[in-house]
Amino acid sequence: MRAVVLGGTREISVEQVPDPEIEAPTDAIIRVTSAAICGSDLHMFAGRTVAPPGLVLGHEPLGVVEEVGPAVTTVRKGDRVVIPFNIACGVCFNCTRGFTSACLAVNADSAGGAYGYVNMGPYRGAQAEYLRVPFAERNCLKVPGEPGDEWEDDFVLLADVFPTGWYANELAGVGEGSTVAVFGAGPVGLLSAYSALLKRASEVYVVDGVDDRLAMAAEIGACPIDFRRGDPVEQIVEQRRRRTAGKLQPGEEKMLGVMCGIEAVGYQAVDWNDPTMAENPSRVLEDLIGLVNPTGRIGSVGLYVPNDPGGINPHAKRGEFRLSFGKLWEKGLSLGTGQTPVARFAPALCNMIVEGKAKPSFLVTQRLPLEAAPEAYAKFEQRAFGYTKVILRPDLRVSG
């Protein structure tokens, strides 16, 4: 079968690899109809992880079941399924508590497994024609409709970025009437803002420095904040000051930030205080510690890793960053982190899509054949116009 394979730093290709096979009675094989490129795939593409050459990439698949193992009874050939990027056994201590992102049974090296990702177990990725799904009854989430229908782009986003945007809001405590700041207008940041609006937050600010992404934030009803125009914390505080003029009780001027902060950038954040826009992995977290009001909450879903070969200093190479923990503690802030337990949220989000209450596919800007993956990765890394979210479709062929 054809698959997207990592060669080296900024080197990927579409190659013929062996078809997956049933390896355990609980396995299934799916035919992939859509597989998204994720921002976290770029870390491997750019050589910012220790991912080995030869890794088949991708962890956001939607497809149709082709074959199941003899122990699989609730999933059948022909079922349309979305596959959470977390691989979970469903019965370990963490899985039974809802933390399928930290399954204890699927990865010998750490808690949690995933498809096609560094240090997340021996699992081939999903940017391919077919995918083996372990523990299929737990990891195949059935969805309605037919491949290529009006939900195709929506459902593939249930594998990762839509649940991750929703989880960011859960970590940040977003509810009706909340004030929210999302740092990062990539796919996860935009869907974090979209989720906040679905939760009926009163004010949602989105910080970035890419024009088309800021425009997309405005289109969904968020307030775009361009960090190229000045300190984003100061910009948000000033907007909040204007909004609350004449409405504050004595002492409430201390609450001109937001109550809920979402970090959707990760360890390759740039420093907007530096004229050269140098990388500063703690920049976003520092800004949120400054911006979020006393007793507020921060949800961090941007990726961080313990081993970064391209880190800006020896500490960053080990995933170690300076952080104003004293200020965080003084303000009584809560900080939630980690990978999203997708299976906890995807079924409800699927219902919202089917009922017409959510349309996360506003995010999708490209639908391309597998063979276009090398160029798509390069343009996505460059934040090129029109490459906010790319969906690879194995059924498509290169024209001409």
Domain ranges of the chain: 2-160+361-392, 162-337
Give the global pTM.
Answer: 0.96
Report the pLDDT value the prediction gives residue 240, as an integer from 0 to 100. 97
The tokens for 261 are 């902060």
Centre a 10 Å sphere on the Cβ of residue 33 and count the other Cβ atoms it contains: 21
User: What's the rounded Cα separation, in Å, for the pair 107 and 88?
Assistant: 10
Report the pLDDT value the prediction gives residue 54, as an integer from 0 to 100. 96
Asked if pLDDT for residue 400 goes beyond 70, the answer is no
**Using DSSP, how many helices (H) and how many strands (E) does the chain show?**
13, 17
Q: How confident is the model at residue 246 (pLDDT cuts 50, 70, 90)?
A: confident
Q: Check if the beta carbon of residue 296 is closer than 8 Å to that of residue 257.
A: yes
At residue 5, what are phi and psi to the nearest 5 degrees?
-120, 135
Nearest in space to 36 (alpha carbons), one of 382, 363, 353: 363
Please report the sign of the dihedral spanned by the C-alpha atoms of residue 246, residue 252, residue 258, residue 259. negative
At residue 71, what are phi and psi to the nearest 5 degrees?
-90, -5
User: What's the rounded Cα separation, in Å, for the pair 116 and 254?
Assistant: 46
Region at 358 (left for phi over 0; alpha for psi -120 to 50; beta for the rest)? beta
Identity of residue 281: P
At residue 398, what are phi and psi to the nearest 5 degrees?
-65, 130
2-160+361-392 is a CATH 1.10.8.50 domain: no
Give per-residue pLDDT as tens, 7-31.
999 999 999 999 999 999 999 999 9
Look over the chain and give the mean of its residue pLDDT values, rounded to a whole number: 96
Give per-residue pLDDT as tens, 49-88.
999 999 999 999 999 999 999 999 999 999 999 999 999 9
Strand duo 61-68 + 141-142: pairing:
unpaired
At residue 142, what are phi and psi to the nearest 5 degrees?
-70, 140
User: What's the rounded Cα separation, in Å, for the pair 276 and 271?
Assistant: 8
| Top-tier CATH class for 162-337 | alpha beta
User: What's the rounded Cα separation, in Å, for the pair 156 and 33?
Assistant: 9
User: What's the rounded Cα separation, in Å, for the pair 393 and 264?
Assistant: 26
User: What's the rounded Cα separation, in Å, for the pair 370 and 376?
Assistant: 10
Query: Which SS3 state, helix, strand or coil, does residue 314 take?
Result: helix
Report the pLDDT value the prediction gives residue 298, as an integer from 0 to 100. 98
Give per-residue pLDDT as tens, 385-397.
999 999 999 999 8
Report the pLDDT value the prediction gives residue 57, as an integer from 0 to 100. 98
Give per-residue pLDDT as tens, 197-213.
999 999 999 999 999 99
Give per-residue pLDDT as tens, 252-307.
898 999 999 999 999 999 998 887 888 999 999 999 999 999 999 999 999 998 98
